[in-house]
Structure 1
Amino acid sequence: MDSFWNTVAGAVAAILALWVLFAAALLLYGRRYGVPGLKSLLRLLPDVLTLLRRLATEKDVPLRTRIGLWALLGYLLLPFDLIPDFLPVIGWADDVVIAVLALRLIFRSLEPEGVRRHWRGSEDSLAVLLRLTGTA
């Protein structure tokens, strides 16, 4: 049972690391593209998680895309990784890199209009998210 909770903790850590990555990107690109408010920054992780849940369950999203989302979730929940999670910082790096690459492929398959249709967050956050995934 300990390995299950370690796996859950690793998945939560990967999701939080993604949030930190998106928040850092918002701050780094803020001057160039306009900084969303602090509220938008804090809402980024919940908005992304809501988007992923909606994409994984909506019937109008292509089956291949939904399978990709479920595969990403499965990978994040697996008890083993390319780089073990007990190594500080780099242990979670593989999860973050794979998650970002998977999101990039998923977002590209949907086109910005498909992502925008399911997005419930601020437009500023969506714009940065689309830029980060190369779909803007």
Structure 2
Amino acid sequence: MSDSFGFGQRFTPDEMASIRKSLRDEARFGSEFIGRLKRVAKRIPFAEDLLAAWVCTRDPSTPRRVKLTLLAALGYFVLPLDAIPDVMPLLGFTDDAAVIAAALAAVAGSITQQHRDKAKEMLADL
């Protein structure tokens, strides 16, 4: 089934269960996300995009589908297990960057300049 954002199909029940499982405790997820970003922000070129995605998910006017897409990508960034271990020099964050880039491309029109401006402010405070 198609929706107004052109995503094509709905998340499958397994995908939804996976997103819900990783984000069950929203406060803890937010804390883990910001904590992890603080530890690595200086080493990754896509830190501002991560924060803009986070700010977009916190915006009440952001459509639910966009929030779920971004939260799934941010969840991948937070999860300790991923395709390429983040401790590997140069390569460690490439899988995270690819997931974030795909999510951002899917919802590009939903991340506003206000989200990006807030992300820049937050990044300066990290």
1:120 aligns with 2:125: no
Size of the alignment, in residue pairs? 86
Task: Name the SS for the 1:98 alignment partner.
Answer: helix
Aligned-CA RMSD value: 3.4
CA–CA distance in 1 between the matches of 2:103 and 2:88? 23
Instruction: Please show how residues 98-117 of structure 1 align to structure 2 within 5 Å.
Output: 98-108=99-109, 110=110, 115-116=112-113
CA separation of 1:106 and 1:57: change in aligned 2, threshold 3 A: same
Identity across aligned pairs (percent)? 27
Q: Structure 2 stretches of 5 or more lacking a match?
A: 1-31, 121-126
CA–CA distance in 1 between the matches of 2:93 and 2:68? 23
Q: Structure 1 stretches of 5 or more lacking a match?
A: 21-44, 126-136
Alignment TM-score, normalising by the size of structure 1: 0.48
Aligned counterpart in structure 1 of residue 44 of structure 2, from 17, 35, 42:
17
Instruction: Please show how residues 69-108 of structure 1 align to structure 2 within 5 Å.
Output: 69-108=70-109
Residue 57 of structure 1 is matched in structure 2 by 58
Q: Which has the larger radius of gyration?
A: 1
In 2, are the aligned partners of 1:10 and 1:76 still within 8 Å (CA)?
A: no
Alignment TM-score, normalising by the size of structure 2: 0.51
Q: Which amino acid aligns with 1:120?
A: D
